């Protein structure tokens, strides 16, 4: 038997880079009979595939996790952990669930073939193995797997590209198969991770409670054709908004893509400070007056007492030449709209 690539000898993190995926599909053959391995390995190797082998169920799971092969050829009947159990475990792991499995079996009774498909197999070949038949079957499933990987990669690139324009996106699973992953955040861009931690102190797979409640309320209870009102959370002069973008097709559950954007009005506060010759704190107080907040609320936001807010506000009145809260807010709003037309008071 010719030499076979053995991933166990390499560190996990380096293995995927070692495999030449650009020019060769990676095939994992699982069989406890050396002669079967030899015949298939040589035929696949000559046809340009990168071939990995495993002679037991435990070894198959280890190699699959390390190498993430493009397809698995799996013997159904092996001592210890049989192929049916191996397939079920591969499909249960997130990192290997997408890998197509072709069963190799000498059992042709209908019940065994049904069991193979129910365990997660996409196809089967009967023994004695005919390499040409195996490669023909593999070709069909590899083509589909390549297309799925390309679509996923393009979708990921498109979503990550949003980060560069100040947007971020997450995918939340409302309902999973058999209740699994229900309500979990299953995908996020790097910017989304940062924003959720800053505003809610949470990280995946936890979906912030207010976000999940908003999503459930509008997806499960509202008319699906109507885009729900956006969710917003404020942190000082910064505001994070959530917009329901679309439902994504996923066999694992009911997934929803949400686009997030942080809007910073620090520039508005700075503009008020410069325009009216206010201190930074006076400008912040005036900003929240424009937003309709009372002194107690402003104190809570800025970490000051209502009395301190009142003193700041009195100095703001003097600098603006006004006597009332309404007049100060109106004067500030007019100036802000001149400098920042998009401002929402």
Instruction: Give domain limits for the chain.
Output: 7-155, 164-264, 266-339
List, edge to edge, every strand of the sheet that includes 253-264.
184-188, 167-176, 253-264, 238-248, 231-235
Helices (H), 93-130: 110-118
pLDDT recorded at residue 266: 76
Residues 267-281, mean pLDDT to the nearest whole number? 84
Residues 6-12, mean pLDDT to the nearest whole number? 37
What's the fold here for domain 164-264? Beta-Lactamase (3.30.450)
pLDDT recorded at residue 30: 93
> Quick check: helix, strand or coil at residue 340?
coil
Confidence band for 153, pLDDT divided at 50, 70 and 90: low
Q: Which of 111, 110, 65, 57 is nearest to 85 (CA)?
A: 57
Confidence band for 188, pLDDT divided at 50, 70 and 90: confident
Residues 218-245, mean pLDDT to the nearest whole number? 74
pTM of this prediction? 0.43
Residues 219-231, mean pLDDT to the nearest whole number? 65
pLDDT recorded at residue 174: 81
pLDDT-above-90 percentage for the chain: 21
Class of domain 7-155: alpha beta
Q: What is the mean pLDDT of the chain?
A: 79
What's the sign of the alpha-carbon dihedral 34, 40, 42, 45? negative
* pLDDT score of 6 more than 80: no
* pLDDT score of 302 more than 70: yes
Q: Which CATH number fits domain 266-339: 2.30.140.10, 1.10.3210.10, 1.10.10.10, 1.10.530.10?
A: 1.10.10.10
Are residues 279 and 287 in contact, defined by beta-carbon separation less than 8 angstroms?
no
CA 268 to chain centre: 33
* pLDDT score of 3 more than 70: no
Confidence band for 95, pLDDT divided at 50, 70 and 90: confident
* pLDDT score of 166 more than 80: no
Confidence band for 313, pLDDT divided at 50, 70 and 90: very high
Confidence band for 7, pLDDT divided at 50, 70 and 90: very low
């Amino acid at each position: 038997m010719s030499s076979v690539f053995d991933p166990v000898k390499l560190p996990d993190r380096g293995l995927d880079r070692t495999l030449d995926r650009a020019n060769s599909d990676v095939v994992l053959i699982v069989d406890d009979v050396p002669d079967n391995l030899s015949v298939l390995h040589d035929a696949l190797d000559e046809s340009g595939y990168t071939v990995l082998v495993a002679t037991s169920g435990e070894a198959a799971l280890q190699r699959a996790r390390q190498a993430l092969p493009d397809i698995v050829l799996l013997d159904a009947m092996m001592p210890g952990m049989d192929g049916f159990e191996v397939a079920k475990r591969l499909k249960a792991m997130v990192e290997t669930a997408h890998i197509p499995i072709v069963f190799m079996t000498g059992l042709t009774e209908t019940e065994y073939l049904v069991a193979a498909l129910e365990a997660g197999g996409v196809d089967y070949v009967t023994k004695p193995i005919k390499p040409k038949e195996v490669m023909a079957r593999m070709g069909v499933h590899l083509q589909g797997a390549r297309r799925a990987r390309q679509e996923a990669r393009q979708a990921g690139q498109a979503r990550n590209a949003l980060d560069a324009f100040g947007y971020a996106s997450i995918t939340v699973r409302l309902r999973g198969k058999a209740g699994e992953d229900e309500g979990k955040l299953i995908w996020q861009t790097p910017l989304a991770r940062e924003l959720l931690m800053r505003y809610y102190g949470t990280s995946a797979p936890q979906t912030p409670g207010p976000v999940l409640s908003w999503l459930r309320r509008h997806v499960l209870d509202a008319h699906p054709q109507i885009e729900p009102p956006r969710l917003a959370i404020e942190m000082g002069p910064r505001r994070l908004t959530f917009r329901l973008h679309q439902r994504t097709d996923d066999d694992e559950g009911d997934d929803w893509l949400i686009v997030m954007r942080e809007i910073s009005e620090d520039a508005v506060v700075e503009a008020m400070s410069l325009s009216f010759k206010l201190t930074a704190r006076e400008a912040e107080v005036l900003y929240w007056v424009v937003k309709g907040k009372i002194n107690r609320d402003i104190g809570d936001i800025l970490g000051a007492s209502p009395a301190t807010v009142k003193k700041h506000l009195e100095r703001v009145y003097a600098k603006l030449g006004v006597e009332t809260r309404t007049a100060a807010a109106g004067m500030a709003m007019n100036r802000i709209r001149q400098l920042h037309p998009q401002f929402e008071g």
